[in-house]
Amino acid sequence: MANIAVLTSGGDSPGMNAAVMSVARAANLMGMNLIGIKRGFNGLIGKSGNLEEDIIHLSLDQVLDIADLPGTFLRTARCLEFKDPAVQEKAAAFLRSLDVKGLVVIGGDGSFLGAQALAKKGIPTIGIPGTIDNDLGYTELSLGFDTAVNVCMEAVRAIRATGRSHDRAAVVEVMGRNCGDIALNTALSTGSEILIVPEMKNWSVDDIANRLAALVERGNKRATIIIAEGAYKQMAPFDVYNFMKDYTGGSRPVFPGSPMDAYFLSRIVEHKVMKTEVRANIIGYTQRGNQPSARDAAFAFEAGVVAVNLLKHGDTNRVVGVHNGKVFHMDIESALAIKPSFNRRMFNMVNAL
């Protein structure tokens, strides 16, 4: 029986376990043994010093019930030394020593660069997109994105209910690294009124305050400001320290050079607008550590089967994705060359209404 291997890498994302389950079942059907590599690329380079910490022979029984398990059963890690070709060669040699005939890498664009490197070193490798950020241009969906948006939607609904009760506005920070997709889809699904994303260059705190002031004038004192975590670094320079030092009343220390964050933004916007209170909320890891939505779990199921089929047919250096709602695959180079396209039309609509 041929051996194949699977690993999860980068930030964990809902649906990774469902994909591993699917890979295991497809491998089993095709008469292959499955080896789980633990902690991303770390498990390929002997970083733990203990083989049992690095690999696990996965029986079907061990993975049949993990599809709805949050997090990643195989663990994940960021392995910065994997950019080094000598380290990649060590990993390829390790896989050869295990007689591995193919590898499935579940992760984002960084993980796909690692997958590509292994493919170039002769290890047949297939990628499955797993990142809540949805920052892979070649695919409409990556595992975890739909779940993360649903988590944010639920959270914002609750935040808006409290805002409504008190006639008070809110800042809500969501994840996404340099991609505004989680923020955009959260805003759209909750009717939030103000959206700030990393794709928006040189935005200013005054733009936000003016927009909120205009909404208050039109009778809406309870607007929700959705900000993507990566947007702060696109903000026009603003001296948080000097603005906040008198205003906080000591409720929270502020230091020279303090970067903008959700708390400061809420205080500053509240102070500039005056006519409504603004509270800060950060959704955080609940976006990542959740059970996969139906959409993510279903994509994971299909992606796992497609990946194993590709390996069985001798394919390598390819990634699975979704285009026009259909699962497809393409080569890694071309996939990574496609930059994510942000939906500006919907972004403008949120901020215009």
The catalytic residue positions are: 133
User: Strand 100-107 relative to strand 55-58: parallel, antiparallel, unpaired?
Assistant: unpaired
The minimum distance between CB 335 and ligand F6P, in angstroms, equals 17
Among residues 132 and 215, whose Cβ is nearest to ligand F6P? 132
Other residues' Cβ atoms within 10 Å of the Cβ of residue 307 = 31
Binding partner selected for residue 124 from ligand ADP, ligand F6P, none, CB under the kind-specific 5 to 8 Å limit: none
The minimum distance between CB 321 and ligand F6P, in angstroms, equals 17
Which are the contacts of 106, defined by CB distance < 8 A and separation ≥ 6?
6, 7, 8, 9, 16, 19, 20, 127, 128, 129, 130, 143
Measured between alpha carbons, how far is 269 from 208 in angstroms, rounded to an integer? 7
Q: Which of 249, 191, 180 is nearest to 215 (CA)?
A: 191
- Near ligand ADP by CB under 6 A, which window of 102-110, 184-192, 297-305, 337-345? 102-110
198 scored as a contact of ligand F6P (CB under 6 A)? no
Of the candidate residues 108, 176, 180, 292, the single one contacting ligand ADP (CB under 6 A): 108
Binding partner selected for residue 15 from ligand ADP, ligand F6P, none, CB under the kind-specific 5 to 8 Å limit: none
146 scored as a contact of ligand F6P (CB under 6 A)? no
Site for ligand F6P in 213-242 (CB under 6 A): 229
Of the candidate residues 36, 176, 292, 321, the single one contacting ligand F6P (CB under 6 A): 176
- Near ligand ADP by CB under 6 A, which window of 64-72, 103-111, 167-175, 193-201? 103-111
User: Where are the strands (E) in the chain, listed by range?
Assistant: 2-8, 32-37, 55-58, 100-107, 125-129, 169-174, 194-196, 224-228, 278-282, 318-323, 326-331
**If binding means CB under 6 A, how many residues of this protein chain bind ligand ADP?**
19
- Near ligand F6P by CB under 6 A, which window of 31-39, 63-71, 126-134, 315-323? 126-134
| Alpha helix positions (H), 167-325 | 181-190, 205-217, 240-247, 262-273, 294-312
Cβ atoms 60, 32 nearer than 8 A = no
How is the beta sheet containing 326-331 ordered, strand by strand?
55-58, 32-37, 2-8, 100-107, 125-129, 318-323, 326-331
Binding partner selected for residue 176 from ligand F6P, ligand ADP, none, CB under the kind-specific 5 to 8 Å limit: ligand F6P
**If binding means CB under 6 A, how many residues of this protein chain bind ligand F6P?**
9
Among residues 36 and 176, whose Cβ is nearest to ligand F6P? 176
Helix (H), strand (E) at residue 334? helix 332-337
The minimum distance between CB 7 and ligand F6P, in angstroms, equals 16
Q: What is the pattern of x (binds ligand ADP, CB under 6 A) and - over residues 191-230?
A: ----------------------------------------
Other residues' Cβ atoms within 10 Å of the Cβ of residue 283 = 22
Other residues' Cβ atoms within 10 Å of the Cβ of residue 230 = 20
Among residues 77 and 298, whose Cβ is nearest to ligand F6P? 77
- Near ligand F6P by CB under 6 A, which window of 117-125, 127-135, 149-157, 196-204? 127-135
Of the candidate residues 17, 42, 116, 131, the single one contacting ligand F6P (CB under 6 A): 131
CA distances for 290 relative to 12, 69, 108, angstroms? 10, 8, 18
Interface contacts to ligand ADP, rule CB under 6 A: 9-11, 40-41, 78-80, 82-83, 107-111, 113-114, 117, 131
